[in-house]
Structure 1
Amino acid sequence: MHGPMSDTVILVIDMMNTYRHPDAETLIPHVEPIIDPLSRLVSEAHDRDDVELVYVNDNYGDFSAEFSDIVRSALDGERPDLVEPIVPQHGLRLMTKVRHSAFYATPLAYLLTQLKPDRLVLTGQVTEQCVLYTALDAYVRHFPVVIPRDGVAHIDPALGEAALQMMEQNMGAEIIAAADCLP
């Protein structure tokens, strides 16, 4: 575990996915290209004392599910190759969520007030849904948001691009490459 304050917090949003849902076929081709940059970012974060990794994943309506159950389901899903490279290692901060925003009904806001990050890097899926709503909730709480363009996946390309523009213009988010997220 790191100290009480971290310069950077990286959120990995909804990447523990079975890919057994109506949007999966449309989503998968947009997830495939983010796995390498995201896994490199996660790996680099593990080796840094000034970075916290926090996984926040939908419980998909199963309120008895532990985070490990969600990971196991994802690894047993349609595309374990999209899950294995970024499975959370032991000792990381893990939270389940019930709606789009990683802040909604989770202890994330409290954790971030304890860590006092200089930047909050949002990664994962889906750009125009959970990532966008998490960015808005971060913005209204005065957390500086960074979005790696190659670390988020969309379902609809036009909506994904619009979401990135909204985050940049309306929320002051910095849109950069995953490789540039950890100075």
Structure 2
Amino acid sequence: MKAYFNGVKKSLAGTELCNYYINATKTAVITIDMHRGHLDAGPDCPCPAPRARAIIKPIDKFTAACRQLGMPIIHVRSVLRKDGSDDVNGNISAWRLVFPMTVGDIAGSGEHALEGTKWTEFAIRVEEKDYIVNGKKRLSAFYPTDLELLLRNLHKETIVLVGTMTDCCVLNTAFDGANRDFRIIVPRDLCRGFEDLEEPALRIISLHLGLVVDSGDLLQAWQEQLAD
């Protein structure tokens, strides 16, 4: 098994990292914000993350393989109360204030993640046995959701984070997960964010929070482990 450390791919052989991180029976896979509010191709998409459209099918393929290995799949999505009290009509999220200074105004951004709208519909495959965690209202999938409760009750110690955006919600979730002593794994080919910020975000994760890997290598390691 290999992982990336500060952008350099290195073997984990001879280290304790495999013992800490590579345990299929103690692992859950978490998809982050893979819903239409980020992924819709229409001009009215309220918070577009167009680069993440490219990982919809790869994530579906990865989660299908994980289901076959018996791993739980948890889909986390942002859902805000329809009256705006969680955000635009309450204490406005910081990203809404500063984000437009970089990307410009986004038409309809006030509709992002509002409950009852099409924007909270998943763009990836969700199966009946999967878990859905609603109510993500800020950048981390842990806040203020019941994700930690679910993971503890499933007796999972390692979490694999995929989805959008690498430099924002994935990174924030990785920090919150590591601070809760979950082992963090991020497949670099199954996350997308701002192109120039992806690599710095992944380097931060590899330096401080967990393993950055290729999804194919990770699946192979799990398959070999379960075959023993």
The CA distance in 2 between the partners of 1:130 and 1:180, in whole Å, is: 24
Structure 2 residues not aligned, in runs of 5+: 1-23, 87-113, 223-228
Cα shift at 1:61: 4.6
Q: For 1:146, what is the secondary structure of its paired residue?
A: strand
- The partner residue of 2:212 within 156, 167, 175 is 175
Q: Alignment RMSD, CA only? A: 2.3
Percentage of pairs with the same residue: 26
Cα shift at 1:142: 0.7
CA contact (8 A) 1:16 1:57 kept: yes
Structure 1 residues not aligned, in runs of 5+: none
The CA distance in 1 between the partners of 2:211 and 2:148, in whole Å, is: 20
Does 2:48 align with 1:32?
no
Q: Which of these two proteins has the greater Rg computed from alpha carbons?
A: 2
- The partner residue of 2:66 within 25, 45, 50 is 45
TM-score under structure 2 length normalisation: 0.63
The CA distance in 2 between the partners of 1:33 and 1:47, in whole Å, is: 23
| Paired residue type of 2:211 | E
Give the equivalent residue in structure 2 for 1:16: 35
| Paired residue type of 1:88 | V
* Aligned residue-pair number: 160
| Paired residue type of 1:149 | R
| Paired residue type of 1:105 | P
The CA distance in 2 between the partners of 1:101 and 1:89, in whole Å, is: 23
- Deviation digits for residues 15-72 of structure 1 (CA, Å, limit 9, x no counterpart): 01233025x2xx31x22332232111111122222x110000011553883xxx56x5
Cα shift at 1:107: 0.8
Give the equivalent residue in structure 1 for 2:169: 130
- Deviation digits for residues 138-171 of structure 1 (CA, Å, limit 9, x no counterpart): 00011110001111010x2222211111111011
The CA distance in 2 between the partners of 1:118 and 1:87, in whole Å, is: 24
Q: For 2:163, what is the secondary structure of its paired residue?
A: strand
Give the equivalent residue in structure 1 for 2:189: 150
